[in-house]
Amino acid sequence: MTQKQIAVLAAEPCCASVLAAPLDEDEAVQLAQGFAALADPVRLRMLSMIAASDEVCSCDLLEPLGKAQPTVSHHTKALADAGLIVGEKRGRWVFWRAVPERIDALRRSLTP
Amino acid sequence: MTQKQIAVLAAEPCCASVLAAPLDEDEAVQLAQGFAALADPVRLRMLSMIAASDEVCSCDLLEPLGKAQPTVSHHTKALADAGLIVGEKRGRWVFWRAVPERIDALRRSLTP
DNA sequence: ACGAGTCATTGACATCCATCGATGTATCGG
DNA sequence: CCGATACATCGATGGATGTCAATGACTCGT
């Protein structure tokens, strides 16, 4: 996990809620970055595939998504920067795993 | 509620889930549009203020957000197009209310 | 050491988007 | 009516973003 990702997680420890109290500026920026990562159909399908399996290799995302390799790499980076997935390089491959805690933090922010 | 908003709701009746099954293209596009509406700090703070009260007038959003009137109008339209808020015009004012069902649909799409 | 496979980065391009001034539309009070 | 208020729309502008070809970096068989 990159320093950037750790910073994001640390800045949003647990419980910023959109629906409960008036959100302050910083909380809004943090949450908006998280939702921005979900605001693309390609990334949503990516996250969907990764979360459905334990581990998914980047090479297994190309064909189902129908996108070029740099595009897939760009989107995995976006999801990783948002802390929603983490990648582990083993040999030639990078295996991606979902980060349920981070996904759950966004989900809880929409909880009444 | 506009025809466009009704169409969105109808196209996503209840249970598209990001984490359960591999998302198909159409579901991904619908969900991405919803999350895109949340992917802006100004709109998140807007939704936060509107959800915290029963009704909020557009004029009461200008000063707390520190944005010009056309900008606020632009964002309320974005949230309304996404079905997250609905507006009712009474006299000179437009009163906005949150749409919990629509917000909840997005929240549930992130539920394991 | 060489070639093939996997992924990241760069650069370029088109598109989308947030923002705001100017203007238009509607409503109310006087 | 007329001026003021609330909101929407238009047009312009600067910045962010999705996409991919080309290239680079790294790993593994042979």
Which whole number is the average pLDDT over A31-55? 98
Interface residues from chain B to A (CB-CB < 8 Å): 18-23, 25, 28-29, 31-32, 35-36, 38-45, 47-49, 51-52, 64, 98, 100, 103-104, 106-107, 110-112
The domains of chain A, with CATH numbers, are 3-9+23-108 (1.10.10.10)
Residue B3's pLDDT is: 46
CA separation for the pair A55, A57 (Å, rounded): 7
Task: Give me the mean pLDDT over the A51-67 stretch.
Answer: 97
Q: Which residue of B has its CA nearest to A26?
A: B41
CA neighbor of B105 nearest in space, from B4, B37, B22: B37
Summarised one tens digit per residue, pLDDT across range B23-33 is: 999 999 999 99
- How many CA atoms does the CB half-sphere of B110 hold within 13 Å? 26
Lookup: tokens for B41: 């700090």
Distance CA B85, CA A79 (A): 28
The pLDDT, as a whole number, for residue A21 is 77
Structure tokens at B98: 């949150």
Residues of A with CB under 8 A from a CB of B: 18-23, 25, 28-29, 31-32, 35-36, 38-45, 47-49, 51-52, 64, 98, 100, 103-104, 106-107, 110-112
Band of pLDDT at residue A14, cut at 50, 70 and 90: low
Minimal-distance CA residue of chain B relative to A110 = B107
Torsion sign, CA atoms B5, B6, B7, B13: positive
Radius of gyration of chain B (CA): 15
The DSSP line for B69-88 is HHHHHHHHHHHHHTTSEEEE
Tell me the pLDDT tens digit for each residue of A32-43: 999 999 999 999
Per-residue pLDDT at B14: 62
pLDDT at B88: 98
Question: CB–CB of A16/A107 below 8 Å?
Answer: no
Q: Do B21 and A107 touch (CB under 8 A)?
A: no
Q: Which residues of chain B have pLDDT under 70?
A: 1-15
